[in-house]
Amino acid sequence: MTNLALITVAVLAATPAAAAPVPAKARDLAEHGREMHKRGEYERAITAFKEAYVIAPSPGLLFNLAQAYRLQGNCDDAALMYRRYLATRPSAEARTVAEGHLATVERCIQKRSLHIPLDDSMAYLKVPPPPGPEKIIAQDKRDIEDAELDKEDLGIGLTFGGSIAIVTAAYFGLRSYRASRDLEEAYARGARWPEVRALHDRGESADRAAKLFGVVGGLAVAGGVTLWVLGRRERANQLAVTPSSQGSGARVSYSWSF
């Protein structure tokens, strides 16, 4: 039904241990698709969802495509999208919704294979969702948002943490230097090992701490700068998918800046 709520697709990326940020282009396309879906312009909604999926694949977009295909009356493609969505292992409630719609479009496919005429209104395709769809949609939206990490912000945080570690390393390095200097002065005054042992141990401990914080801080800064640069580059990248004027296929263009 035209007012059926869709899963809000935020990105993306996904991914993984550290999900990549969803490009603004994908967000805009997903939002446009949802707006077209509300208006009942399913063909345009499908085009927008497809373009968004090329840029930032996500389970939510598969569900949105399945819904649009179903309400358009395209049972074959709807069934394919529902199966692909179910393969992503959604929550139990979301699975129940998708499986219910999948059963509906599979009945549609069966009737067509038997050459049974379809009702012009296709009312049986527009099965209302079970109670509580808002809860399912909200949960999927939270899952997507939880997976969304901005590389630039992560890079800045990592660089900041690494800088603190380097400052700490400098502090312990200074303590090690002072202990070494005091040790030399003690030996110059004729002090013996038992008298300077504590000073020696303190200097050695400070030296080890300085090296540890220095290495960790250096790696953190290097990793943070790398993430920040990658995030900036991804934000600058632009990928567009334009349907072909001949009615089949599409043109993909990609641009980037440094």
**C-beta atoms surrounding 199 within 10 Å:** 17
What is the value of pTM for the model shown?
Answer: 0.45
User: Which secondary-structure segment (H or E) carries 129?
Assistant: none
Give the three-state DSSP class for 253: strand
pLDDT at residue 206, as a whole number: 87
Q: Which two tokens stand for residue 207?
A: 């030296």
User: CATH number of the domain at 24-149, please?
Assistant: 1.25.40.10
Domain boundaries of the chain, sorted by first residue:
24-149, 151-236
pLDDT in tens, the chain (258 residues): 333 445 544 333 333 334 456 788 888 999 999 999 998 899 999 999 999 999 989 999 999 999 999 998 899 999 999 999 999 999 999 999 999 999 988 988 888 788 776 655 455 455 444 434 444 444 444 544 444 446 677 878 889 898 999 999 999 999 889 988 888 888 888 888 888 888 788 889 989 998 999 999 899 889 888 877 776 666 555 444 444 444 445 555 544 444
Would you say the C-alpha torsion 45, 51, 57, 62 has a positive or negative sign? positive
pLDDT at residue 199, as a whole number: 79
